[in-house]
Amino acid sequence: MGRPRLILLVRHGESEGNKDKTVNQYIPNHKVPLTNHGHEQALEAGKLLKSLLKEDDSICFYTSPYLRARQTTNDIIEGIKDTGVKYVIEEEPRMREQDFGNFQSTKEEMQRIWVERAKYGHFFYRIPYGESAADVYDRCASFDASLFRHFARDTFPSILVLVTHGIWARVFLMKWFRWTVEYFEDLQNVPHCTWIVMEKDPKTQKYRLNTHLQTWSELEDQQRAKKLKEDTSDELRLTTNGQLDDNEMNTVAVAAAKAKDEQVKRSLETMRKYEVLFKNNNTKEAGI
């Protein structure tokens, strides 16, 4: 078969860590499981995958070794078992999520990190005792090289499914489509269990991104500022589990949202300057 006709990325379903980030204070990140809702999301993703299948398709699943990703993979497979499609599953440690350190720190330290990362930029900011998104990029580059070697085999399945995490998925696409750092900074996170579809052009053998990824810059200024504050407040509320009062919450959320908003605007200015603003990313192709 060679290069698969479809490369599909999917972020794991909702996890206990997405619902309550304080679990990261006592459960290792790689052991955080899905919530019941996360299992439901993954089962639904399996049904959607079934709708993409052709009669002669076969699938290669690559999954992050994190528990929530492996559970998502199993639930997705439940949705396609009745099709009789042939599939293989490979566990790939290079697909793990960005390392945020070991157990989560105090509320004061998490406040500092949130604001500092927003000011510094999400791609290059290295979490204390963890990784930056740039470190994840290096892992993606190594993984891509392995994929290209596998694609050289005529027996490689017609569909490649990558079950992974939000940051990893965005970094993988950044590497594949050669997006800039500024464009990465502009991307919003990927929703749980939403399929990202890359389709091969039979003539050029290049892949086209068929899924629109939400960006911060497509929002009006007031709308973006409001959503940034809401997202930051939600993260802080989950991270601190009520340890912050409303005034503290508002102060930190406003500071982090303002820093991120300013960073997005700087990124847009840079992209315009170098004329690499990929507004129509759904038409962007890569020859690899």
Determine whether 220 is an active site residue: no
| 17 has binding-site annotation | yes
DSSP string, 144-170: HHHHHHHHTSTTS-SEEEEEE-HHHHH
| 224 has binding-site annotation | no
Cβ neighbours of residue 136 closer than 8 Å, sequence gap 6 or more: 98, 167, 168, 171
DSSP string, 35-71: PHHHHHHHHHHHHHHHHH--TT-EEEEEE-SSHHHHH
| 107 has binding-site annotation | yes
| Among 12, 39, 165, 192, the one annotated catalytic | 12
Question: CB of 176 within 8 A of CB of 200?
Answer: no
| Among 92, 97, 131, 185, the one annotated catalytic | 97
Determine whether 97 is an active site residue: yes
Q: How far is CA 209 from CA 3, 95, 127, in A?
A: 15, 20, 30
| 132 has binding-site annotation | no
Give catalytic residues, as residue numbers.
12, 97
**Annotated binding site for substrate: which residue ranges?**
11-18, 68, 107
- Binding residues are 11-18, 68, 107
